[in-house]
């Protein structure tokens, strides 16, 4: 009896090990049958699979970007948010931002330029957040500017303020859409003007950052004649020498 009970459990374990091999053999025979029945079918399935993977990757990147922007807005809305104000050179910052977009602009034959007089005063701002404002405005302008167009960042000191204009020669914004461009999740009413995968948060983030600096932003646009975003920042006040 003892030997009988010791050997019995070995049978089902042996069968369990064989079952996956049997299933694998069936799958392989089905694959061979499919390949014989439909010549070239393997390549078609591979292309279809590659396309599905590419779509999934694009959707993942879009979702990741959306989540990042939502977290960014939530952080900016936090009442305890503080700014790390520094005196910085606006011309240098604008040039650094345009450099990020240089390759994309060249590929699309779009000219990027910073227009600024020499000797511009420094401004008091949070460098990282102000860079984000320039990123969003320049990136938005580039997305809506066709081949052969231009995107410009214009800087000028007026009294104790620095005026900033980000202009493009793109498709412009419909008059009915202009009042809503800074709203969260806003997208053009005309589907043809929408950026694929855009979440409509970039301009809202730019406005919120400027609000934290005590500033506002405005937009001027005309369909077919480009768009201009404008804001100002206080120039750095230097203490008189003792």
| pLDDT digit string, tens, across residues 28-62 | 444 444 444 445 556 666 677 777 766 666 555 54
> Rounded mean pLDDT of the chain?
78
Angle 157-166-128 from CA coordinates, rounded to 5°: 80
- Rounded Cα distance between 43 and 59, Å, is 24
**What is the pLDDT confidence band of residue 183, given thresholds at 50, 70 and 90?**
confident
- Rounded Cα distance between 50 and 56, Å, is 10
For 147-181, the pLDDT digits (tens) are: 999 999 999 999 899 999 999 999 998 898 888 88
For 185-239, the pLDDT digits (tens) are: 666 555 555 555 555 688 999 999 999 999 999 999 988 899 999 999 999 876 5
- Rounded Cα distance between 136 and 68, Å, is 14
pTM: 0.68
What is the pLDDT at residue 50?
A: 76
Give the single-character DSSP code of 192: G
H or E segment to which residue 164 belongs: strand 161-168
Q: What are phi and psi of 164, to 5 degrees?
A: -120, 130
Predicted confidence (pLDDT) at residue 99 exceeds the cutoff of 50: yes
H or E segment to which residue 62 belongs: helix 41-77
58 Cβ contact partners less than 8 Å away, ≥ 6 residues apart = 197
Rank 9-18, 64-73, 198-207 by mean pLDDT and report only the highest: 198-207
Burial class (CB within 10 angstroms; exposed 0-12, middle 13-18, buried 19+) of 22: exposed
- Rounded Cα distance between 129 and 100, Å, is 16
> Which pairing describes strands 86-88 and 123-125: parallel, antiparallel, or unpaired?
antiparallel
Q: How many CB atoms lie within 10 A of CB 161?
A: 16
């Amino acid at each position: 009896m003892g030997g009988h009970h010791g050997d019995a459990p070995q049978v089902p374990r042996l069968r369990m090990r064989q079952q996956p091999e049997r299933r694998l053999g069936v799958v392989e025979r089905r694959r061979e049958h499919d390949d014989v029945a439909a010549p070239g079918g393997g390549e078609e399935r591979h292309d279809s699979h590659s396309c599905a993977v590419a779509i999934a990757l694009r959707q993942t990147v879009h979702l990741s970007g959306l989540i990042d922007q939502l977290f960014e807005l939530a952080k900016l809305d936090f009442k305890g948010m503080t700014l790390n104000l520094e005196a910085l050179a606006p011309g240098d910052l604008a040039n650094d931002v345009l450099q990020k977009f240089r390759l994309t602009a060249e590929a699309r034959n779009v000219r990027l330029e910073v227009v600024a007089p020499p000797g511009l005063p420094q401004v008091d701002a949070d460098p990282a957040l102000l860079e984000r404002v320039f990123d969003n405005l320049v990136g938005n302008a580039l997305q809506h500017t066709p081949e052969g167009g231009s995107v410009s960042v214009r800087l000028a000191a007026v009294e104790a303020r620095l005026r900033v204009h980000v202009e493009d020669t793109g498709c412009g914004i419909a008059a009915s859409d202009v009042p809503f461009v800074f709203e969260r999740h806003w997208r053009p009413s005309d589907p043809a003007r929408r950026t694929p995968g855009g979440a409509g948060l970039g301009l809202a983030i730019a406005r919120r950052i400027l609000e934290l600096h005590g500033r506002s932003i405005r937009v001027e646009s005309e369909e077919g004649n480009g768009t201009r975003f404008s804001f100002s920042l206080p120039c750095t006040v230097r203490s008189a020498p003792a």
